[in-house]
Structure 1
Amino acid sequence: MDQGQSQFLQNPFPGLRPFESHENHLFFGRDGQSNELLRKLRETHFLAVVGTSGSGKSSLVRAGLLPDLYSGMMAGSTTNWRVAIFRPGGNPMDNMARALSQPGVLVQDEISEEDRHTQEQFIGITLGRSALGLVECLRQANLPANENLLVVVDQFEEIFRFVNKSTLPSAHDQAVAFVKVLLTSIQQQDRPIYVVITMRSDYLGDCSRFRNLPEAINDGQYLIPRMTRNQRREAICGPIAVGGAQIKPQLVQKLLNDVGSNPDQLPIMQHALMRTWDHWKENGAPGIAIDISDYEAIGGIEQALSLHADKAYAEIAEGYSAEEGQRRQKIVEKLFKLLTEKGADNREIRRQALLSDLVTHTGASMEEIISVIEVFRKPEYSFLMPPKRELKDDTVIDISHESLIRQWKTLSVWVDEEAESSKIFLRLAESAQLHLDNKKDNLFGLELDQYLEWRVQFKPDLAWAKRYSTDCDKCLRYLEESQQQRENLLQGKKSLALKEEIRRKKELKRTRVFAMVLAFATLVSIGFLIYAQQQKELALTQRDIARANYQISKAQSQVEKDPTVALRLAELAAKISSSPLVLNAAHKIYRENVFYKTLFHKDEVHSVAFSQDNNHMLTGSKDGVARIWKIDGEIQLEIPAHEGGVNAVAFGPNGNYILTGGADGFVKLWNLDGSLQYNFKHTQPISAVAFSPNGRQILTGSETARLWDLKGHLQQVIGQAQISSMAFSPDGNTILTASYDRSARIWDLKGNMLKEFGGDSDYIFSVAFAPDSRKVLTGSVDGVAKLWDIRGDLIDELNGHSNRISSVAFSPDGTRMLTGSFDNYIRLWDLDGNQIYELKGHVNRISSVAFSADGTKVLSGSYDRTARLWELKGKLVREFDAHNDYIFSVAYSPDGTKLLTGSYDQTARLWGLNGNLLSEMKGHNDRINSIAFSPDGTKILTGSEDSKAFLWELNGVKLQEFAGHKGGVSSVAFSPDGTKVISGSADHSIRLWDLNGKFIKEIGKHDDRVSTVAFSPDGTKILTTSWDKVARIWSLDGDILVQFEGHADQIYSGVFSPDGSKVLTGSGDGSVQLWNIEGKALLELSNHPGIVSAVAFSPDGSRLLTATLGNSARLWDLKGNMLKEYPGQIIAVAFSPDGSQILTGSTESVQLWDGVINLDEFLQSGRIDELKTDPEND
């Protein structure tokens, strides 16, 4: 290929937009999937293509399914298809009518725009008449008998946003009618209608809003599988080959590694390939393959999209004055804020809009808006759609993919700003409505200040406000009136004071007229001084807000690079201005990231380790020194250990010794005071060292692995290959090694190889055993970590790193994995291969990572001359001995000032937050299984294995007895209004009582012991769980409303979410299930190491708390990511009413933890770096 030819090669990659049907020759990596789509569509006439954002749903339908339909690949069907493709957007019925009225669908191929518009209106009317509207439209179109109609509803999840956000009063009814029209059309047999929807999988739970939709989706669902590494390779190499070019294998490998497990892997890969192709085409020499230099020139996958979008943004201002350029860029900001949204659940959402609406809401002219859109929809950008069509008033404008929101940093900031601003406005709208209803006065004080500050910062106008409220003029007028009322009051006070002063002075004798005039002049001067001082303070306030906002913007730009620096910048902003917007931004950074404390070194850090008591850390550096550190970051001892650098370090399991391995080929055993005990010699530099679990043997790795006793006697040589990493199995019976021959092997202690792990395309650089000795983790030079079982079968791949994985580790409980890489990042994973955290802050290669023995901290070493200590868990605030036996139930008082515990020692006790005993409830004759505060916090309820429940005063005086169960009372609860009590028993029954102990009725029975009872927040329903493996929701009349089935063992715990829309259950099978109120499973947390004895929702419903009987408690988000872990032999858990603390009960003690550590306390705790660098290493 010569240079001339390369200039005419067409870019085969679409960028962020989906592949179209005419591009199926470029659509690779999905072989066989279209066949499955055809099969489901043929059988059900309804196909739901479901997957995560960025999984390729739209492309699979457009470039996979549609070409196969046109080719007659669906058995029993023709090749004649009329296809209408649209998105629900802001008016689903109208958008469907517009799609059906396109030439070649239900109207003639050749038709004027005026006639087409008339047909669109007619079709819209027909669709809205009845559920058979679509069938009637097809009948009226009078198509030939052998033609089928396919309706493709792309981005179907927009229907939920339409219901939630639309300002149309009939939005819900329209949405119901829209869904009903679709489902009815596939149920009839007279007309050949087929329906395909694409939808993000995180909206599956929302489908229950529409009758019969969940059933249709269940029948026709196709969940897009995650692309394998080989499929991604095809998606890279296939289009390039079709395009007539070549790509270097090294670049293919790097692309595969860089994409990793990014949720936006497909769109960002397509975009990066599009940009790489363009760079190669513009700069490549004749016959040269696309290479890494072309890829790196565009910023790689991590930066390409954001840099490219920034380039388009900069282009908007080119050729204009600075002032005009800024004005045009402000139009871009307004436009993208209109086209994007972040939902209440933080899901990124595209908001398509008519061109005419964009003109209205931005305040720009039609020409200005079109000129902006034309730049962002250029083929080399493809950030806006449609790509080529002439722009008219009714043209629908849309961003090309949600990944743009997540990947373009500038847009991400805009979206967050818009989300925050809209929340404030909606709160204002709510207050304005209460004011109109005479339920709220005008705004005043701090509340008014906050809204006025919002108005100054965001400058809302009516056009913007109409997006969120139909009564927006009332909202803004309410704010104006409140401000005016304050000013009038201030002026009134000044006026009254002035009049009083004049009146008093007029009563003075005329001889004091001069003094009166002088006093009045002084008063006026003071007034002017006060006014001037107020204006000065206002100016200073505005200046501080501007300065704080600048620091926040700097902090937000640092989050991806170094969250610790970002948090300190946010702290600085909060010190400048304590405005809600600043504080919210600081808390957001704090909630969503993990932070570090730095241990500075004079050279590269090659190895790190924790002591078994968690009180000390050990690091080895290229400067030849091994350092023992206290856990607070203070150096305890420096040991000049090796010439040429310390490559490996280890603490002895009993804490008596440390081990170092050096570049000089020596391994040295040291006492903790730094005195040398023994030398062990290899002929080449040492790569790894380890103590056996019992501390009696030492394993060293170099040109071979060698087993020694503590006195330096060689016991065994293991293998013959150069060792890169090694580990003892936790049971001490086997040894795991990794070698530069691309293999990992398991050996017995006599040097016999038991198992080999092969198949890696690159060198294995690090290995680790799981705590149960039954799994193995390997990290490779290709950036992929692999989890294996002990038989050598691959369990999972951990994709995410873009360079060599230098170190791997298991958490002590075996539920999490840690990887450190030469890409400068550390990643924390669960056993299913999901990334929990990315630890960011190192600025050079990671050499070593380690968990603390309690799993609460991570230590990392890097070539950037630092080791960093990261904290993963909540802080223990207080612990006190509470009972003489197991604590089986704990609770907070509603006001959060007291704690309640119930124990197997037959007592319940009331405590202050400082651990002082306030009262004791004695009277039960067997263990207490359940306790509860009344909603007003004035009474206590206990349920016992003695078959009774008691009602108590807070001082321990028994008020009432609830007797009648024929087995132990497992659980008790108050109704939300405090007038009734519910109890569940080992006799399988659920009973309802009044507060006088009078039995009202039996609600129902399970087939085994009832373990939990709870009222719904509105008091109209009752939740029960049972050892019969079933949970149920009952009406107060005893009717079963919902049954939850899915656990494989007894259910021990259950709870309603605070808004009553979800249910959480925990089982003896080690799993926790999150359900919607209709009984559909939304999420499973299946990694608990035993019986889940207690579950809880945080008061805001955003977090889940679980306790494993006799083990740890864990805090989760609603996506199943574990946020924190609280160690101990925990049985019971509870959130404080404000969600800031967590209460746990264990064998005989109570623990109080921070649920969300107070930000100020955290910043002052010494657990995070200050905003400065070490002078020697700046």
Structure 2
Amino acid sequence: MPEPINNRSALLGFPKSYAFVIGINHYPHISGDLSSAVNDARALAQVLKHRQGFDHVELILGPKPEEEAEALRQDTEGIQLSFDAGGANLRDLLQRIQDPEQEPRIQPNDCLVFYYAGHGKPGEFDQGPAGYLLPSDTRPSQAMLQNDTLIPMEEVFTALKTLNCHHTLLILDCCFAGKFRYVGQKTRDANWVSNMPLYEERFMRYKRERAWQVLVSAGPHQTAADWVGDRLDQEGRAHSPFAEALIEALEGKAELRERGRNLGDGVLTSQELFIYLWNKVEKLTNDPTIEQTVQYPDLFPMGDHQGGQFIFFDPNNKLNFADRVIRNPYKGLEPYAAADHDLFFGRKEVVNSLLAKVLGAPLVLVTAPSGGGKSSLVRAGLYPALQQTEGWADAPLIELRPGALPRQALADVRHQIDPTQKQLLLLDQYEELFTECQDEDERAGFEQDLIKLWKAARDGQLKIVLTMRSDFEWQLEASAFGQAFWTADNLAGFLFRLPPMGLDELREALVGPAWVEAFDFENDELVDLILSEISYAPGALPLLSFTLSELYRITDKDTRIFTTGQYKEELGGVNGALSRRARAIYDTLPDNQHRATMQKIMLRMVRLNDGSYARRRVFLSSVQPGQDLHEFNFPGEEDQIVHDVLDRLEAAHLIIRGSDRLGQAFIEPVHDSLINYWPLCRQWIEEFGRDNLLLQRQLWQAVLDSTRPQEPVFGYGATAEDKLGADDSLTANFSKLWESNPKLLQVLEQVSAGARDYLFSHKDAILTEALPQIAEADREHFQSFWDDCHAKGEIPDLNSLILSGYSDKILALLLEKGQHWLNEAEAQFIRQSWEKRIADVLDLKRQRDEAIEAERRSARLARANGNAFKAVQLDRRDPTAALRLAEMNYRIYPESEAAAAIFKQLLSDPIQANCLLTIREAGDR
């Protein structure tokens, strides 16, 4: 047998490699001799010694009487051979290897293989916590658990644990070998990780980390085949299916070759070994011509396994590590691409479900909330899985996003699409058809083109997948394209609602990419800590990926260990990672106006709790039909700036979009941490103040209430009949505005403060424009008041300007030019409230003036009546004087009916009239 090319000790750095190999065919006290166990053990010992380069190999055989010892000794040079496979000798072996004073004196930094081929039994009545190994002198017993001729698997585990070798591999080829899984504690491992290119860094890590693994030929409730059919070794000896595959693997047939590489890497890890054994043994035992249950090997960790891999070598080739591609194993906040499929974890079951749906339908719609991972699922999950399906290996992935010009986007890739061929067409972010395309003709043409393509796909092999935010499902259903295929009875055939990731899936998504790039976590506690901070957050997958991407950036690339200290102290956990990203978005905004708008947006998304803050959902659509009423609707160009900032925040996965069960669209921060642990956001909150946050919420609620129809107001005890006969006039004077609410003045105070700089720098221009529009009688007072306020450095009080008739124009100027937090609807509400306040004040002034005028008129009438009475009395003594008094009284109080009547009465006497005329003429002269 040729010697191995690689020097095991030199390459692995272990002082020595030990192997203890046991094979038992003969059981004289029970009916059940085996045929292949001795041959299996003997061949394996030879391979380990001569092909794998193990330093110390002990072989213990239990042959049948007819098997000649001398024949079995052949080709065992350098192997310690014993033919005593009884219980006493096996227990002595377990005790001896634990004793540092006895040969072979195994040390903790050595590596060890322990192999057993023979009979195995489960616990008593198939209920025991673990299985049993049967020495050759095993005797039957009714009470199996008390049968001291059996060797509990627990006893083997204890011996291996005492040895505490850095790398330990236990191999069991017996019935119920999988019971050993229940012996050692459950330990984190990555056996679910697919085979990965072996970089030198990964090789170094595999040998650096502890590897305590168990390789079994059958599951915990399975029997293991002794031998199958006529398969014999070169000397005509039979092997069990498991041993046959194991020996072939260690001779160099199992090494996996990366695509495009003629040679493998020269290393056979326990993971690669398991993959080979699984495929080989399943094939060997899945033979319908032989009565044999299909057998499935297993590989699992035991004891203190810490992420290493037990390592064998390809005896025929030297080390040939894969070319290293330096990359961050986490995508951050970017979606996964097809080339990232080896980094895409946690969605295996979902991918399988989606694949089945895609293979069964020409069109599949994948929906999920914002940040749910739709695009990544199709690109890095579905498409690679589809390529593994028979006949789809060379199928291309064709992608497009609708954007503002969807028909043009489809036309740009139409030449690549052939519905008669196996292709996957991905229309990603399909909601853009409704959010970005404003041209109805463009949209209609695109949908008609898509309908034709869908019909062609039904008759061909093209698969069409749409990804879309779930809150747009109803819009697609109502669209022309949706009407072509969307019916209530076929939802299950085309609609795939992506479920949120469970905790186990998130764990895979967390740990898997690190394994791919040969990184590891310091301990399980760090993994649990990260999951606890992420698992209940909306948009958990991008949040997890972003956090770990940031952790990768600060991790030492030589040690390749994610540490708790770096995660908590340098990165600041999920909170710190989010803060860094949010600040980066803020700092890269194009100007101060964008930054001020981002501050407004963040403050709107803050919810007040008792003594704390949390993220708040802000709706983007109105409850009232036909109204464009939402909190982020700002006037003028700021409205576009709001959308720009929201798009940036969403692209950075700092906010997510969704819709409630009523179909109302909303946005909200991806995590409370963005509110509570981003220092700049907390600074904004503190500067704005809890009182103002509360005022902002109250104002918006008042705006919403003002848009709802007014219900009639009834007194206490009103009956149903009262309400049926309600008069609309009852509610005519019931206002939902804030004209008499003190909160109006609080808002105006902030609006005025925000326009202070503008008012003071433009005070003369404002005055010049205002004076011509103010009543002439009020101009002097207005100018005096205006100048006095500015001389004192005070903002003019709008209440003091109401009577000037110009306060509403000043308020409009403050709202237009000032820096304030009001959106368009709130500003309109404040204007309406102020106009109502002005109207109320002017109405009160009118009522006051009318009362004063009425009082003045009453006094004049009283005086006129008194003078008329005096004239009547005076007429008896001095008619001429009486007439003159009556005339004067009438002229002064012409509105008095009494004064006019008395004057006319006295003037009716001709003598008095001539006298009055003479007096007037004398007066004229």
Q: TM-score, normalised by structure 1?
A: 0.28
More strand, by proportion: 1
Q: TM-score, normalised by structure 2?
A: 0.34
Q: Name which one, 1 or 2, has greater alpha-carbon Rg.
A: 2
> Larger relative contact order (C-alpha < 8 A, sep ≥ 6)?
2
More helix, by proportion: 2
